[in-house]
Structure 1
Amino acid sequence: MTPTGRESEKSDEVLIALDNLSKKWPIDPIVRDVHLGLRSDIQDYLLKLNQVTYHIPYLSETADFVVWNCLWPDCHNCCEKQGRLPLTSKDLSVISKDLGYPNRTSFLRKETYIATWESTAAATTHEPQLITTLTMINLKRTQTEGEADNGRQIACRFLDKNGSCSINSSKPGVCSLYPFFSWSQNENNRLSVHASYQLTGDCPGFYLTKTLDDYIPILKNYSEIIYNYTMNVNTTLRESFARIDIT
């Protein structure tokens, strides 16, 4: 598939997701256009908090920031709309123990599968867009999930009837990351961590604000989660439990 084809397919998927989302929640028309890539005035506002540099969409025509807050327990789309649950080496140890497996080998054989997918980091005025191909061990969201289900939206079996995670204390790090995605890059011979939003159209928590003052505490809280997760991914790569190719 050509790059243009991938972009078109992604746009169609986001449109369908937004249409489904709007059946239950009101979606700001401007936020909708941001998700669909229809705004020409989006600027990349960089905000560094603790050890994470956030890339926040800023709309120059309306002087608005696009921000987010979780609407749980009214919404648990993140547990129903994820395309996969990639695991770090730390996740493998913690979850296997929580589920009562005597060793990690048994857990890997019964509860996981290996999948490969593409992830695109947001382009900035200083850096080109990065397309990364990742291969990682994934937690099965259903007992029968396999590579053929990679990328499909499947409700997680650990989501209970009250909308809570039955393995919350040991859930995969990627679950806590949502709706952010993160990446690391070398800057002046030092590793830096960056984060931006997953604009998939599945989360109703996005809204517009003129100032980030009230939003900064949320970002500060997430900065520790994002930093630790990204470092765990890097450790997982070094331990050969995952592979990443960048173009």
Structure 2
Amino acid sequence: MSQKEIEESLDLLQKDWDVDPTLRNFMLGKITDVSDRPIKVKDVVFHVPYLNSEKKFILWKCFWPDCHNCCDRQGRLPLTSDDLITIGKGLKYQKPSEFIKNETLTVTYSEPGPSGQMTTMTTINLKRKTDETEADDGTHISCRFLNDEGGCSMHPDRPGVCYLYPFSSWLENEKGKPRVHATYQFTGDCPGFYLAEDLEPMKEEFKEYSKIIYDYNMASNRTNREGFGSVSFS
């Protein structure tokens, strides 16, 4: 996302939530004295930003059910092959092919990777609105499965990527073995970020998300092997 888009998101967020001025400046790129503090939890290495000037970590917690910004301002919902079966059945489709035809879009997009390289991905995405087109991909859209109470009408069978928020993740080759890495998505849409002097307040979240993130990466790799998506680097 561009700095302008993040600033617009933060302005919207501040209409309903208090946003720490230091965190706002960080998300807008105005604080650059930042260290990456990796912490390995089970099978995932979490990369946690540490603000050297503040001597504090950036941590996170979810305010659900008081907040559903992540569902109200979705950018895209890529599906794994597991999602195609589970969500298709939930929507009463007999065949995954019919579900794919009527409820999804196949899109190709590029994003900067963790090492600076460009990552190009082709994914099958769940339509966030019934008339969504490829031109809508990457834009903020309220998910059509968000109900009047602010909950997901598909839960617990929602897309695997929904469980990741606010993390993004990737795989790296470590001595011939895959290692899963994760870091936050700073889109300006989530009120759950806060500053802390140590990592202890987020200990349980790291444990919970370690399994979620690892399982999602394995499902994504399997999806690509099965021909439902692809990833390339340049």
TM-score range for the pair, normalised by the shorter chain length: over 0.9
Q: Which residue of 2 aligns with 1:199?
A: 186
Q: Which residue of 1 aligns with 2:60?
A: 68
Deviation at 1:118, TM superposition (A): 2.1
Q: 2:128 aligns with which of 141, 148, 158?
A: 141
SS of match in other structure, 1:62:
coil
* Amino acid across the alignment from 2:46: Y
* Amino acid across the alignment from 1:232: A
CA distance in 2, matches of 1:41, 1:179: 22
Deviation at 1:143, TM superposition (A): 1.0
Q: 2:166 aligns with which of 179, 188, 197?
A: 179
TM-score (norm 1): 0.92
TM-score (norm 2): 0.97
> 1:99 aligned to 2:99?
no
* Percent of residue pairs bearing the same amino acid type: 47
CA distance in 2, matches of 1:121, 1:35: 18
Where in structure 2 are the equivalents of 1:10-89 lying within 5 Å?
Answer: 10-89=2-81
SS of match in other structure, 1:214:
helix
CA distance in 2, matches of 1:70, 1:156: 18
CA distance in 1, matches of 2:116, 2:211: 25
Deviation at 1:185, TM superposition (A): 1.0
> 1:132 aligned to 2:119?
yes
Unaligned 5+ residue runs, structure 2? none
> 1:167 aligned to 2:154?
yes
CA distance in 2, matches of 1:47, 1:129: 21
Q: 1:219 aligns with which of 206, 222, 227?
A: 206
Residues 80-103 of structure 1 show CA distances to partners (whole Å, capped at 9, x for unaligned) of 111111001111011101111011
SS of match in other structure, 1:153:
coil
**Aligned-residue RMSD, C-alpha:** 1.1
SS of match in other structure, 2:195:
strand
Q: Indicate if the aligned counterparts of 2:26 and 2:32 stay in contact, CA closer than 8 A.
A: no
Q: Indicate if the aligned counterparts of 2:42 and 2:207 stay in contact, CA closer than 8 A.
A: yes
Residues 118-138 of structure 1 show CA distances to partners (whole Å, capped at 9, x for unaligned) of 23344xxxxx32321111000
Deviation at 1:58, TM superposition (A): 0.3
Q: Indicate if the aligned counterparts of 2:224 and 2:230 stay in contact, CA closer than 8 A.
A: yes
SS of match in other structure, 1:202:
coil
CA distance in 2, matches of 1:151, 1:135: 13
Q: 2:102 aligns with which of 105, 110, 126?
A: 110
Deviation at 1:44, TM superposition (A): 0.5
SS of match in other structure, 2:201:
coil
Residues 107-158 of structure 1 show CA distances to partners (whole Å, capped at 9, x for unaligned) of 0111001112223344xxxxx3232111100001111112111011111111
Q: Which runs of 4+ in 1 moved over 3 A?
A: none
CA distance in 2, matches of 1:216, 1:110: 41
CA distance in 1, matches of 2:111, 2:215: 19
Q: 1:236 aligns with which of 220, 223, 230?
A: 223
Residues 4-29 of structure 1 show CA distances to partners (whole Å, capped at 9, x for unaligned) of xxxxx711100111111111111111
> 1:90 aligned to 2:82?
yes
